[in-house]
Amino acid sequence: MIQQADHTPLEAPSAICALPYPERFTVWAARVWIECFRANNPTCPRLENMFRHARLAEHLGPFYAFFTLVAHGAQRKLDFRCPGCKNVGEDERLFLTILAAQQWGSPATADSILTDWLYRSAARRAAYPARMFAHGLAEAGLILDCQPSPLGVSIDTDKHAMH
């Protein structure tokens, strides 16, 4: 299950306000979903409004599916913070890496992170909604920055085209 981590500050540039808009939106959306999940709200009007305003309403399904699989298939506590936290958790960074890897054509990077987070069957099932959500973000113009992953795997943009 996803658990809110403590609010211990991380090293810079871990402040959420330092993230580019696509990353900030994505992390905040994850935090809002987790907040709704923990409150036993199967749908989240706040999240639905966010997605509608970002022109992502049709991609809310894959987002919900992905996080439902993560919430029920996690093999360890994941570091996702509350919506008001100013710092970015390590697993929030990895979530961004999953999506960036999918956008930039490096699904093996995404699969590696999912396998670390989730039991094998959940990791396999979570790959598809992650890919669909990542591509939905790209279609809406929310291209995630292509930073080296925290696992030391770089996403090579010269070899892969955007999908």
The 10s digit of each residue's pLDDT in 96-151 is 999 999 999 999 999 999 999 999 999 999 999 999 999 999 999 999 986 544 44
Q: What are phi and psi of 79, to 5 degrees?
A: -90, 80
Q: Is the dihedral of CA 71, 108, 5, 133 positive or negative?
A: negative
DSSP summary character for residue 74: B
* H helices, E strands: number in the chain: 6, 2
DSSP 84-132: T-SB--HHHHHHHHHHHHHHTT-HHHHHHHHHHHB-HHHHHHHHHHHHH
* Cis peptide, bond prior to residue 150, ω within 30 of zero: no
> What tens digit of pLDDT does each residue of 1-39 get?
444 444 443 343 478 999 999 999 999 999 999 999 999
* Cα 3 versus chain centre, distance: 15
pLDDT(158) > 90: no
Range 144-160 average pLDDT: 49
Would you list the domain boundaries of the chain? 11-139
Enter the tokens of residue 84.
């008001």
Range 44-49 average pLDDT: 93
Interatomic CA distance for residues 95 and 41, integer angstroms: 22
Note the pLDDT of residue 41: 87
Note the pLDDT of residue 4: 46
Note the pLDDT of residue 102: 95
Range 30-52 average pLDDT: 92
List Cβ neighbours of 144 (8 Å cut-off, separation of 6 or more). Answer: 22, 23, 26, 96, 99, 100, 103, 134, 137
Comparing 163 with 97, which gets the higher pLDDT? 97
- 128 residue type, one letter: Y
Q: Predicted confidence band at 89 (pLDDT cuts at 50, 70, 90)?
A: very high
The length of the chain is 163
Interatomic CA distance for residues 72 and 82, integer angstroms: 19
Interatomic CA distance for residues 129 and 61, integer angstroms: 8
